[in-house]
Chains A and B, each alone.
Chain A
Amino acid sequence: MSTMLHMTDVRKTYATGVVQVEALRGVDLDVAEGDYLAIMGPSGSGKSTLMHIIGCLDVPTSGTYLLDGTDVSQMSEKQLAEVRNRKIGFVFQQFNLLPSLTALRNVELPLVYAGVPVAERRERAMAALDKVGLAERVQHRPGELSGGQQQRVSVARALVTDPALLLADEPTGNLDSHSTAEILELFAELNEAGRTIVIITHELEVAEHAKRRAFIRDGLLNATDAVLGGVH
């Protein structure tokens, strides 16, 4: 299996005033195609910074990051936007759906930025919503949907561009246990179908559904399952 995500000695330093904060202190990470990785860590561990870099929302201060064979560590804002559009599907804790748009229009959004024609866009968005079991709710606005349904809309939005990587940041953080189970089941199905998934979480029950777990603490990643007991 080919490597989907390859990080070597990735460092990220923030300058807040005169103090330099080293959020990532040399992270090495490999995720193969079809992998399902959970990254765990307490708050302040560098977890969010790592998620931003994996998601191409930010660039590392040093080190290399290859996403689907492309070096994205030195890219411009514009190039990163294109990479995010084509290669990454995001699922956020807060769902981040636009409240004024219907579920269908929300799912269409990444295709709008990709320049996909209207008819094809509609068709693909419908297919993605069908895949997450919301074919009946396409004309509903986020406010008219339950939390679990909203998160499924955002999973559909993440899948609609057929990205190389599905990146989920605390996807169940705002969901009840029933919806959490639904979403995790959906992720498992997607992974079984070959989708590469990276999930960022601090919940062990969520991480247990992944094929692999990695633990981040003080800006360093430890990719063994042995430390999982220390998460809580």
Chain B
Amino acid sequence: MEWKETISTAISALNARRMRSLLTMLGILIGIAAVMLTVGLGQGASASITSRINALGSNLIVVTPSQSTSSGGFRGGGGSVSTLTTADATMLADKTVAPDIAAVAPVSSTSGSLQSSSTTWTSTVVGTTPDWLTVRARTVSTGRFFTTDELDSSSNVAVIGSTTATELFSDGSPVGQTISINGSSFTVIGILNTQGTSGTSNEDDTVLVPLTSYAARLSTSSNANSISSIYLSGKDADSLSAAYQQVKTALLASHGVTSDNADFSVSTQASLVETATSITGILTVLLGGIAGISLLVGGIGVMNIMLVSVSERVREIGLRKALGATPGVIRQQFLVEAGILGTLGGLLGIAIGVTGALILTPIIGISVAISIPATLLALVVSLGIGLVAGVYPASRAAKLAPIDALRSE
């Protein structure tokens, strides 16, 4: 029996029980769409996080304070006292200590209540050095950044993000205006370029002031020299791992600790990306696995309906056998029916998955990645599920004795 004949026979058999065929396909449809969306969402989230981490700057190294794991003695009492100080930053800026480091930006931050002549706004206030621009790969769109002189003289100058600028000064240029930060007056000298959000923080809603001014007027910490993190940029991508080692070695030596009880942690952009993608990867596998279970249930639905179909069509099978259909031909006919159920369900599932991705992307702000290979894979998987689900019912049909089949009413 030719393929064309087998397929048209299968389609007319499915068409004769249209409602049931559609409901059976629904199981595969939901499974395929769910797998496509969850995996696509995971990949989209991963890509989005990676691009945001990369946007933090190029060849970035971040030093953050951390709890040491072995020396428990002085924990808890200090509250949020950081183990990093401006002295660490100064040391790392020394070319003899860390030759592969191009720029060092110590950072200290707090939440600040801002006030302009017309309105108030709450934002993140960051104390840092002029190197911050280089390290974070940012530029100033209007005005200028503060200088080393202003840093040294603890000037009351501030550079604000574009969102902050819009919120505080709805009309007119903010540059040259005076704002009050937690009660201290600062003059706005520049506005940062627009960057977008990073993780949970909006990079465009921030106020940058010289670290010295921050320490003198804004710091809430008991130690004025304490800083919350140090951003460094390596000279180039090739020497980044060398730079990473230099930073780590220098800090271990100056803090008098070993890497087992280090009170800080050093991450490179690559390691941040790796951590983030491994987390989204695990989530994707988890969610995709749950969606995969629904696909499995859909497959069981196909098997179930094929079994029902075989027992309903015992007479037809008997007649076809009497007219010369071999067991192989009967098996093939039912396998093709199950395969078509799976494939059509898969095609509809892909359509729903792609539509869902297009609808969800603007709503959740993360692009849901749907790739051509993944789509083809989904199609092959749905065909495979149909065929596997059809094997048992088809062999039941093939094994029916023609006399029993003809006798049945």
Which residues from chain B contact A181 at a C-beta distance below 8 Å? none
| A86-B322 contact, Cβ under 8 Å, with A57-B403, A92-B406, A96-B315 | no
Which residues from chain A contact B328 at a C-beta distance below 8 Å? 78
| Contact assessment for B324 and A85 in the assembled complex, using a CB-CB cutoff below 8 Å | yes
Is B236 part of the contact surface with A, judged by Cβ < 8 Å?
no
The chain A residues found within 8 Å of chain B, CB to CB, are: 52, 55, 57-58, 77-78, 81-82, 84-86, 90, 92, 96, 98, 100, 109-110, 112-115, 157, 161
Kindly supply a per-residue 1/0 record for chain B positions 323-350, scoring 1 wherever the CB is within 8 Å of any chain A CB and 0 otherwise.
Answer: 1111111000000000000000000000
| A114-B324 contact, Cβ under 8 Å, with A52-B403, A58-B403, A98-B316 | yes
CB within 8 Å of A: which B183-219 residues:
none
Which residues from chain B contact A112 at a C-beta distance below 8 Å? 1, 5
Partner of B327, one of A77, A100, A161: A77
Q: In the assembly, what is the distance between CA of A78 and CA of B325, in Å?
A: 8
| Contact assessment for A100 and B323 in the assembled complex, using a CB-CB cutoff below 8 Å | no
Q: In the assembly, what is the distance between CA of A109 and CA of B328, in Å?
A: 16
CB within 8 Å of A: which B278-334 residues:
315-316, 319-329
Q: Can you name 7 extra interface pairs (CB under 8 A) apart from A57-B402, A96-B315, A113-B323?
A: A55-B322, A77-B326, A82-B324, A96-B319, A100-B16, A113-B320, A115-B1
Which residues from chain A contact B323 at a C-beta distance below 8 Å? 84-85, 90, 109-110, 113, 157
Is B12 part of the contact surface with A, judged by Cβ < 8 Å?
yes
Q: In the assembly, what is the distance between CA of A77 and CA of B329, in Å?
A: 12
Interface of A, helix, strand, loop or mixed by DSSP: helix
Partner of A78, one of B5, B16, B326: B326
| Contact assessment for B324 and A84 in the assembled complex, using a CB-CB cutoff below 8 Å | yes
Q: Which residue of B lies closest to A52 (CB)?
A: B403
Interface of B, helix, strand, loop or mixed by DSSP: helix
30 A-B residue pairs with Cβ-Cβ distance under 8 Å, sorted by A, are: A55-B322, A57-B406, A58-B401, A78-B326, A81-B321, A81-B327, A82-B326, A84-B321, A84-B323, A90-B322, A90-B323, A96-B315, A96-B322, A96-B406, A98-B316, A98-B319, A100-B12, A100-B13, A109-B320, A109-B323, A110-B323, A110-B324, A112-B1, A113-B320, A113-B323, A113-B325, A113-B326, A115-B1, A115-B2, A161-B324
CB within 8 Å of A: which B1-34 residues:
1-2, 5, 12-13, 16
Q: In the assembly, what is the distance between CA of A53 and CA of B7, in Å?
A: 32
CB proximity of A94 to chain B, nearest CB, Å = 8
Q: Which residue of A lies closest to B407 (CB)?
A: A48
Name which of A86, A110, A157, A161 has the most chain B CB atoms within 10 A of its CB.
A110
Name which of A52, A92, A98, A114 has the most chain B CB atoms within 10 A of its CB.
A98
Q: In the assembly, what is the distance between CA of A100 and CA of B323, in Å?
A: 17
Which residues from chain B contact A82 at a C-beta distance below 8 Å? 324, 326
| Contact assessment for A57 and B16 in the assembled complex, using a CB-CB cutoff below 8 Å | no
Q: Which residue of A lies closest to B15 (CB)?
A: A100
Which residues from chain A contact B325 at a C-beta distance below 8 Å? 81, 113
Which residues from chain A contact B315 at a C-beta distance below 8 Å? 96
Q: Which residue of B lies closest to A167 (CB)?
A: B322
CB proximity of A52 to chain B, nearest CB, Å = 5
Q: In the assembly, what is the distance between CA of A203 and CA of B12, in Å?
A: 39
Name which of A81, A96, A113 has the most chain B CB atoms within 10 A of its CB.
A81
CB proximity of A76 to chain B, nearest CB, Å = 9
Which residues from chain A contact B326 at a C-beta distance below 8 Å? 77-78, 81-82, 113
Q: In the assembly, what is the distance between CA of A231 and CA of B217, in Å?
A: 121
Q: In the assembly, what is the distance between CA of A94 and CA of B328, in Å?
A: 26
| Contact assessment for B322 and A57 in the assembled complex, using a CB-CB cutoff below 8 Å | yes
CB proximity of A111 to chain B, nearest CB, Å = 9
Q: In the assembly, what is the distance between CA of A55 and CA of B407, in Å?
A: 14
